[in-house]
């Protein structure tokens, strides 16, 4: 079985298996109201969304989901790595590929939302150049806020 960062192709033979594993991770990692588990396949059918995942020995250990609603901006909807595979560079590898994919679509800005208490995630986003734009109070739930962050590219 292979390892590495893979872009999920809608027509690939392992689509169902990969999505199944990702949905399981989604359920485990995110609280129910934040989880896209029930609508994951629907989200991915949208023409302007993409999913990249890391596979190690045939097991999906992390993924990033992104979309580009317009030609000007993109957003990172989800970034998750299984608990026992964290702090090994998988999140950074995924995010870098997603940023590259967005850049190749000539978007000017990528945005995302992150819980300010998730220090490792905040550090990673800052390391890759994301800046905090605003604190959105009650974004996830009444007692959980989010930092809205963005990464801007110079118009080339």
Cα-Cα-Cα-Cα torsion 73, 20, 7, 116, nearest 10 degrees, comes to 40
CATH architecture of the domain formed by 4-152: 3-Layer(aba) Sandwich (3.40)
pLDDT tops 90 at residue 95 = yes
Per-residue pLDDT at 124:
95
- Say if residues 146 and 114 touch (Cβ distance below 8 Å): yes
Please state the domain extents for the chain.
4-152
pLDDT tens by residue, 125-141: 999 999 999 999 998 88
Q: Please state the pTM of the whole predicted model.
A: 0.83
Specify the 3-state DSSP secondary structure of 88: coil
Query: CB count, 10 Å around CB of 147?
Result: 22
Structure tokens at 131: 């800046």
Spatial contact of 117 and 95, defined as CB atoms under 8 Å apart: no
3-class DSSP assignment, residue 54: strand
């Amino acid at each position: 079985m292979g390892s590495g960062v893979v872009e999920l192709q809608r027509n690939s033979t392992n689509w169902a298996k990969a999505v199944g594993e990702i949905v399981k991770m989604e359920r485990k990692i995110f609280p129910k109201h934040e989880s896209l588990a029930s609508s994951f396949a629907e989200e991915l059918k949208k023409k302007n969304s993409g999913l990249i995942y890391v596979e190690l020995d045939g097991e999906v250990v992390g993924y990033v989901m992104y979309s580009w609603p317009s030609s000007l901006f993109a957003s990172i909807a989800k970034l998750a790595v299984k608990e026992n595979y964290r702090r090994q560079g998988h999140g950074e590898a995924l995010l870098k590929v997603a940023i590259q994919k967005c850049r190749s679509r000539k978007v000017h800005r990528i945005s995302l939302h992150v819980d300010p208490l998730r220090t490792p995630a905040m550090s990673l986003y800052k390391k890759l150049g994301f800046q905090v734009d605003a604190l959105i109070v009650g974004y996830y739930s009444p007692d959980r806020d989010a930092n809205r962050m963005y990464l801007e590219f110079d118009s080339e």
